[in-house]
């Protein structure tokens, strides 16, 4: 059977970049084997639902170029693909587990459970609702059928899974091998909540079974839940159809200490979301890779290598090459450090491969936002001069702004180091040369250099001051490329203005 895999995010906010990597690995695995890639929205926790999150997720994958075969936005043979729309399906399976003794009704209130936790804390223990404690709690295992039935009509209740005592549970993981857990260490997770909605655990297993999912490829944080899911497949009689599990390594902070979070991005100045996110509840704006000027193909390439290795020194892969090369057995068990400088390196490489028209159209957006209007021909010449200096599309303005606006200030360090009392006179003599010389790069270069040689002027000193006049600091491409591009009048204007100002 060809693989059927799903990416199943919750619409509780923006999509974390770690979630993008999980989806990417699912996509690569499915496509390599001619399988099916599915988007399912797991919105059973309505208290955490955030408006716009589902649309954000879909838009992010459209930008990245990862196309789903079935899903909430595309439909398919196993629709609906949103769990809140599948609510009537789940109760029958919860009832099936109750009828066969694999689950039980629990009436414990939040206050009662909190009291138990506090009592355990006083003994320096941690309370867990499990095989060791459930008979001391208020549930259908400790009260009669009649009282259970009566209480179900009067007060809220949940349905919990009933783990068997002292049973070894085996999870065969494609990345981690055999993982064995004793049932006595596991808590009896809630399967059905008092609001009539299933929890992630029940809905996840039921949907994977009904949608014929063959492989569950998800983050390492779900590994502790895997024994429960294995037991649910057994209890529901679906063990033969149970998917293969693969738990991916975590994306770590740049220093390797802990899981990458939004706070790390805020602290270190890089996005942790694919697109910019405007939080509808707080109004907070979080940056995205698209808006920062990253290319989707660079992000795909970068993420693919965070936890997976082809086994060679090759680092640059097209999406099709990734599909052909991907092997789930090559995924590492260890967490992968998130290196934003490496992401910039990938983006730099992919930007250099873009044609000039792409960079022109991208840069024109920035120019228009700044109220500037320049012909594509001029913008194209500027782009060609600075493209090898940029890592992000957004770097174009920083590297090329002086082609569009004269400097409004001058680098004080350069002034202190290079500017002396002879500089104004020398610069005004260069103005005279520019006024009467054919305005062509090579001719201008030769004329200015001849003036420097004839007057025994320090070349580095005067050329840095000339650049300072035109750019405002000691940066930029070849000086005479700048002069020939901005033109005679603008060059002379800037030199005179700098002499007057400095």
Distance (Å, whole) CA 443 – CA 364: 31
Task: Please name which of 42, 34, 50, 56 lies closest in space to residue 6, comparing C-alpha atoms.
Answer: 42
Owner of token pair 């009509």:
153
The residue annotated as part of the active site, out of 212, 259, 262, 292, is 262
Task: Please name which of 267, 275, 323, 190 lies closest in space to residue 17, comparing C-alpha atoms.
Answer: 275
Beta strand 36-39 pairing with 4-7: parallel
Task: Please name which of 80, 73, 35, 47 lies closest in space to residue 203, comparing C-alpha atoms.
Answer: 80
262 annotated active-site: yes
455: number of Cβ within 10 Å = 11
Distance (Å, whole) CA 380 – CA 357: 7
Q: How far is CA 330 from the centre of its chain?
A: 22
Q: Is 431 helix (H, G, I), strand (E, B) or coil?
A: helix
What angle is formed at CA 68 by the lines to CA 213 and CA 91, rounded to 5 degrees? 45
For residue 101, the 8-state DSSP code is: T
Task: Please name which of 491, 477, 480 lies closest in space to residue 428, comparing C-alpha atoms.
Answer: 491
Query: HSE of 55 in the Cβ direction (CA atoms, 13 Å)?
Result: 6
Q: Which two tokens stand for residue 20?
A: 């993008």
Distance (Å, whole) CA 375 – CA 380: 9
Q: Please, is 400 exposed, middle or buried when counting C-beta atoms within 10 Å of its C-beta (0-12, 13-18, 19+)?
A: buried
Q: Are 66 and 7 in contact (CB under 8 A)?
A: no
132-140: long-range contacts, CB 8 A cutoff, minimum separation 24: 132/184, 134/104, 134/160, 134/162, 134/188, 137/106, 137/108, 137/112, 138/106, 138/107, 138/108, 138/112, 139/104, 139/105, 139/106, 139/107, 139/108, 140/104, 140/105, 140/106
Q: What is the 3-state secondary structure (H, E, C) of 249-278?
A: CCEECCCCCCECCHHHHHHHCCCCECCCEE
Give catalytic residues, as residue numbers.
Answer: 262
């Amino acid at each position: 059977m060809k693989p059927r895999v799903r990416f199943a995010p919750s619409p509780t906010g923006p999509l974390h970049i770690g979630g993008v990597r999980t989806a990417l690995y699912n996509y690569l695995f499915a496509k390599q084997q001619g399988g099916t890639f599915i988007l399912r929205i797991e919105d059973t926790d309505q208290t955490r639902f955030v408006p716009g999150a589902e649309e954000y997720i879909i838009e992010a994958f459209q930008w990245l170029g990862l196309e789903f075969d079935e899903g909430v936005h595309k439909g398919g043979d196993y629709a609906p693909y949103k769990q809140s729309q599948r609510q009537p399906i789940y109760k029958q399976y919860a009832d099936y587990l109750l009828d066969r003794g694999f689950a039980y009704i629990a009436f414990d209130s939040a206050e009662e459970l909190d009291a138990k936790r506090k009592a355990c804390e006083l003994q320096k223990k941690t309370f867990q609702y499990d095989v060791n404690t459930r008979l001391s709690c208020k549930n259908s295992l400790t009260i009669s059928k009649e009282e259970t039935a009566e209480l179900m009509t009067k007060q809220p209740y949940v349905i919990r899974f009933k783990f068997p005592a002292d049973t070894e549970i085996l999870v065969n993981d494609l990345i981690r091998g055999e993982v064995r857990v004793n049932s006595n260490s596991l808590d009896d997770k809630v399967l059905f909540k008092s609001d009539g909605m299933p929890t992630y655990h029940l809905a996840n297993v039921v949907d994977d079974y009904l949608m014929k999912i063959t492989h569950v490829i998800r983050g390492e944080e779900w590994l502790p839940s895997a024994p429960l899911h294995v037991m649910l497949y057994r209890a529901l009689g679906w063990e033969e159809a149970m998917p293969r599990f693969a738990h991916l390594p975590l994306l770590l902070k740049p220093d390797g200490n802990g899981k990458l979070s939004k706070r790390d991005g805020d602290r270190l100045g890089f996005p942790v979301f694919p697109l910019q996110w405007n939080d509808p509840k707080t109004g907070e704006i979080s940056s995205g890779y698209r808006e920062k000027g990253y290319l989707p193909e660079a992000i795909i390439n970068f993420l693919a290598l965070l936890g997976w290795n082809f086994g060679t020194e090759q680092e640059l892969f097209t999406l099709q090459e990734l599909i052909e090369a991907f092997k789930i057995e090559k995924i590492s068990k260890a967490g992968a450090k998130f290196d934003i400088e490496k992401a910039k390196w990938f983006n730099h490489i992919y930007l250099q491969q873009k044609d000039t028209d792409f960079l022109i159209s991208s840069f024109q957006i920035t120019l228009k936002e700044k109220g500037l209007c320049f012909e594509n021909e001029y913008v194209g010449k500027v782009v060609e001069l600075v493209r090898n200096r940029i890592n992000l599309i957004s770097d174009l303005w920083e590297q090329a702004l002086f082609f569009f606006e004269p400097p409004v200030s001058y680098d004080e360090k350069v002034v202190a180091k290079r500017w002396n009392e002879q500089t104004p006179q020398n610069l005004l003599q260069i103005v005279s040369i520019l006024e009467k010389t054919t305005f062509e790069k090579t001719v201008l270069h030769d004329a200015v250099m001849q003036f420097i040689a004839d007057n025994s002027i320090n070349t580095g000193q005067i050329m840095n001051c000339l650049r300072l006049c035109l750019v405002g600091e000691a940066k930029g491409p070849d000086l005479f490329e700048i002069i020939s591009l901005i033109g005679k009048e603008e060059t002379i204007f800037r030199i005179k203005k700098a002499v007057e100002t400095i």
